Chain A
Amino acid sequence: MDVSRRKFLKISGASLGLVAASSTIGGFVKKSNAFFENKSEDSKSVKKIPTYCDICFWKCGAIAYVRDGKLWKIEGNPDDPLSKGRLCPRGTGGIGAHYDKDRLTSPLIRKNNRGEEEWVAVTWDEALTYIADKMQKIKSSYGPESMAFFSHGIGGNFLKHMIKAYGSANIAAPSFAQCRGPRDVGFRMTFGEDIGSPERTDIENAKCLVLIGSHLGENMHNTQVQEFAKMNGDGGVIIVADPRFSVAASKAKYYLPVKPGTDIALVNAWMNVIVNENLYDKEYVDKYGFGFEQFKAEIQKYTPEWAYIETGVSPELIRDSAREMAKYKPATLIHPGRHTTWYGDDAQRSRAIALLNALMGSWGRKGGFFYPVSMDVPAYPYPEYPHSDKPKVDNPDKKYPFAHETLTTGIREATITGKPYPVKGWLVYGTNLMQALPNRDETIKAIQNLDLMVVVDVVPSEIAGWADVVLPEPVYLERYDDMNVEFFKEPFVAIRQPVVEPPNEQKPNWWIAKKLAEKLGLGNYFPWNDIEEYYKTRLTNAGLSFDELKKKGIIKGKKQPIYFDEGVPDKFQTPSGKIEFYSLQLQEKGFDPVPKFNKQKEPPAGTFRLLFGRAPVHTFSKTQNNPLLYDMMSENEIWVNKDVANKYGLKSGDYVKLKNQDGVVSNKIKVKATERIRTDCVYMVHGFGHNAKKQTLAYGKGASDAGLITKYAVDPLMGGNGMSVNFVSLEMQL
Chain B
Amino acid sequence: MARFGMVIDTKKCVGCMDCVVACKTENNVPEGLNRDWIVQDVKGTYPTLNMQIRTERCNHCDNPPCVYCCPCGASHIHELGGVVLVYHDKCSGCKACMAACPYDARFIHPDGYANKCTFCIHRVENGMDPACVSVCPTHCMYFGDLDDPNSELNKLLNSRKHRALITEAGTKPQIFYLD
A230 part of interface (Cβ distance < 8 Å): yes
- A248–B134 CA distance with the chains assembled, in angstroms: 23
Q: Which of B1-24 touch A at CB < 8 Å?
A: 9, 11-18, 20-22, 24
Chain A residues within 8 Å of B86, by CB: 35
Chain B residues within 8 Å of A229, by CB: 12-14, 137-140
On whether the beta carbons of B17 and A245 are closer than 8 Å, the reply is no
B67 part of interface (Cβ distance < 8 Å): no
A627 part of interface (Cβ distance < 8 Å): yes
B99 part of interface (Cβ distance < 8 Å): yes
Output the least CB separation between A729 and chain B (Å).
21
A283 part of interface (Cβ distance < 8 Å): no
On whether the beta carbons of B18 and A92 are closer than 8 Å, the reply is yes
- 0 or 1 for each of B7-43: is its CB under 8 Å from A? (1 = yes): 0010111111110111011111001101001111010
On whether the beta carbons of B92 and A632 are closer than 8 Å, the reply is no
Chain A residues within 8 Å of B32, by CB: 631
On whether the beta carbons of A245 and B15 are closer than 8 Å, the reply is no
Stretch at the interface among B118-126, B146-154, B164-172: B118-126
On whether the beta carbons of A245 and B49 are closer than 8 Å, the reply is yes
On whether the beta carbons of A676 and B87 are closer than 8 Å, the reply is no
A31 part of interface (Cβ distance < 8 Å): yes
Output the least CB separation between A420 and chain B (Å).
46
Output the least CB separation between B102 and chain A (Å).
10
- A677–B106 CA distance with the chains assembled, in angstroms: 33
- A74–B26 CA distance with the chains assembled, in angstroms: 9
- A228–B13 CA distance with the chains assembled, in angstroms: 10
Known: A15-B95, A255-B47, A616-B15. A6 touches B104 (CB 8 A): yes
Across the interface, B9 reaches (CB within 8 A) one of A3, A86, A233, namely A233
Known: A13-B99, A38-B26. A86 touches B135 (CB 8 A): yes
A205 part of interface (Cβ distance < 8 Å): no
On whether the beta carbons of B40 and A3 are closer than 8 Å, the reply is no
- A375–B94 CA distance with the chains assembled, in angstroms: 60
Chain B residues within 8 Å of A297, by CB: none
- A23–B97 CA distance with the chains assembled, in angstroms: 12
Q: Which of B63-102 touch A at CB < 8 Å?
A: 71-74, 85-96, 98-99
On whether the beta carbons of B104 and A35 are closer than 8 Å, the reply is no
Q: Which of A203-219 touch B at CB < 8 Å?
A: 216-218
- 0 or 1 for each of A3-35: is its CB under 8 Å from B? (1 = yes): 111101101110110011011111101011011
Chain A residue with Cβ nearest B107: A8
On whether the beta carbons of A676 and B90 are closer than 8 Å, the reply is no
On whether the beta carbons of B15 and A247 are closer than 8 Å, the reply is yes
Across the interface, A217 reaches (CB within 8 A) one of B15, B105, B135, namely B15
- A230–B91 CA distance with the chains assembled, in angstroms: 42
Chain B residue with Cβ nearest A83: B137
Across the interface, B24 reaches (CB within 8 A) one of A16, A631, A642, namely A631
On whether the beta carbons of B24 and A628 are closer than 8 Å, the reply is yes
Across the interface, A1 reaches (CB within 8 A) one of B24, B40, B44, B118, namely B40
Across the interface, A3 reaches (CB within 8 A) one of B34, B52, B72, B91, namely B34
A226 part of interface (Cβ distance < 8 Å): yes
A500 part of interface (Cβ distance < 8 Å): no
On whether the beta carbons of A676 and B135 are closer than 8 Å, the reply is no
A257 part of interface (Cβ distance < 8 Å): yes
- A41–B15 CA distance with the chains assembled, in angstroms: 27
A37 part of interface (Cβ distance < 8 Å): yes
Across the interface, B14 reaches (CB within 8 A) one of A27, A217, A629, namely A217
On whether the beta carbons of B105 and A5 are closer than 8 Å, the reply is yes
- A19–B105 CA distance with the chains assembled, in angstroms: 19
Across the interface, A92 reaches (CB within 8 A) one of B12, B106, B135, namely B135
Give the most central of B14, B38, B138: most A CB within 10 Å: B14
B158 part of interface (Cβ distance < 8 Å): no
Output the least CB separation between B87 and chain A (Å).
6
Chain A residue with Cβ nearest B89: A29
Known: A89-B21, A226-B137. A35 touches B88 (CB 8 A): yes
Output the least CB separation between A257 and chain B (Å).
4
On whether the beta carbons of A89 and B74 are closer than 8 Å, the reply is no
Across the interface, A628 reaches (CB within 8 A) one of B25, B128, B139, namely B25
On whether the beta carbons of A225 and B126 are closer than 8 Å, the reply is no
A367 part of interface (Cβ distance < 8 Å): no
B159 part of interface (Cβ distance < 8 Å): no
- A324–B98 CA distance with the chains assembled, in angstroms: 49
- A642–B49 CA distance with the chains assembled, in angstroms: 13
Across the interface, B39 reaches (CB within 8 A) one of A2, A25, A677, A678, namely A2
Across the interface, A5 reaches (CB within 8 A) one of B40, B42, B104, namely B104
A73 part of interface (Cβ distance < 8 Å): yes
Chain A residue with Cβ nearest B104: A5
On whether the beta carbons of B94 and A88 are closer than 8 Å, the reply is no
What class of interface size applies to chain B in its complex with A? Answer: 35 or more
On whether the beta carbons of A245 and B25 are closer than 8 Å, the reply is no
On whether the beta carbons of B27 and A38 are closer than 8 Å, the reply is yes
Across the interface, A230 reaches (CB within 8 A) one of B49, B71, B122, B139, namely B139
Output the least CB separation between B5 and chain A (Å).
19
Output the least CB separation between B113 and chain A (Å).
8
Chain A residues within 8 Å of B157, by CB: none
Across the interface, B122 reaches (CB within 8 A) one of A22, A38, A642, namely A38
A356 part of interface (Cβ distance < 8 Å): no
On whether the beta carbons of B46 and A2 are closer than 8 Å, the reply is no
On whether the beta carbons of A25 and B92 are closer than 8 Å, the reply is yes
Q: Which of A16-73 touch B at CB < 8 Å?
A: 16, 19-20, 22-27, 29, 31-32, 34-38, 40-42, 72-73
A232 part of interface (Cβ distance < 8 Å): yes
On whether the beta carbons of B46 and A89 are closer than 8 Å, the reply is no
Known: A220-B16, A229-B138. A23 touches B72 (CB 8 A): yes
Chain A residues within 8 Å of B27, by CB: 37-38
Known: A22-B94, A40-B126. A35 touches B46 (CB 8 A): no
On whether the beta carbons of A88 and B18 are closer than 8 Å, the reply is yes
- A35–B114 CA distance with the chains assembled, in angstroms: 11
Chain A residue with Cβ nearest B47: A257
- A687–B86 CA distance with the chains assembled, in angstroms: 39
- A1–B39 CA distance with the chains assembled, in angstroms: 8
Across the interface, B53 reaches (CB within 8 A) one of A9, A11, A247, namely A247
A87 part of interface (Cβ distance < 8 Å): yes
- A150–B85 CA distance with the chains assembled, in angstroms: 52
On whether the beta carbons of A675 and B87 are closer than 8 Å, the reply is no
Chain B residue with Cβ nearest A27: B72
Across the interface, A218 reaches (CB within 8 A) one of B14, B98, B103, namely B14
On whether the beta carbons of A225 and B93 are closer than 8 Å, the reply is no
Chain B residues within 8 Å of A249, by CB: 49
Q: Which of A633-653 touch B at CB < 8 Å?
A: 641-642
Across the interface, B89 reaches (CB within 8 A) one of A26, A89, A220, namely A26
On whether the beta carbons of B137 and A24 are closer than 8 Å, the reply is no
On whether the beta carbons of A93 and B21 are closer than 8 Å, the reply is yes
On whether the beta carbons of B37 and A3 are closer than 8 Å, the reply is yes
- A233–B137 CA distance with the chains assembled, in angstroms: 13
Chain B residue with Cβ nearest A89: B18
Output the least CB separation between A248 and chain B (Å).
8
Output the least CB separation between A647 and chain B (Å).
15
- A245–B51 CA distance with the chains assembled, in angstroms: 9
- A276–B6 CA distance with the chains assembled, in angstroms: 49
Chain B residue with Cβ nearest A31: B87
Across the interface, B44 reaches (CB within 8 A) one of A76, A675, A677, namely A675
Output the least CB separation between B165 and chain A (Å).
12
User: Chain A: residues with CB nearer than 8 A to chain B?
Assistant: 1-6, 8-9, 11-13, 15-16, 19-20, 22-27, 29, 31-32, 34-38, 40-42, 72-76, 86-89, 92-93, 95, 216-218, 220, 222, 225-226, 228-230, 232-233, 245, 247-251, 255, 257, 616-617, 627-629, 631-632, 641-642, 674-678
Interchain residue pairs with CB less than 8 A apart (16): A1-B38, A12-B99, A22-B92, A24-B72, A26-B74, A26-B90, A37-B27, A38-B27, A75-B134, A92-B18, A93-B21, A225-B137, A225-B138, A226-B138, A229-B137, A229-B139
Can you add 6 more A-B contacts, CB < 8 Å, to A32-B90, A632-B17?
A: A12-B98, A19-B94, A88-B16, A92-B25, A220-B137, A229-B140
Q: Lowest 8 A-B CB distances belong to which pairs?
A: A5-B104, A217-B14, A229-B138, A257-B47, A3-B37, A250-B51, A616-B16, A34-B88
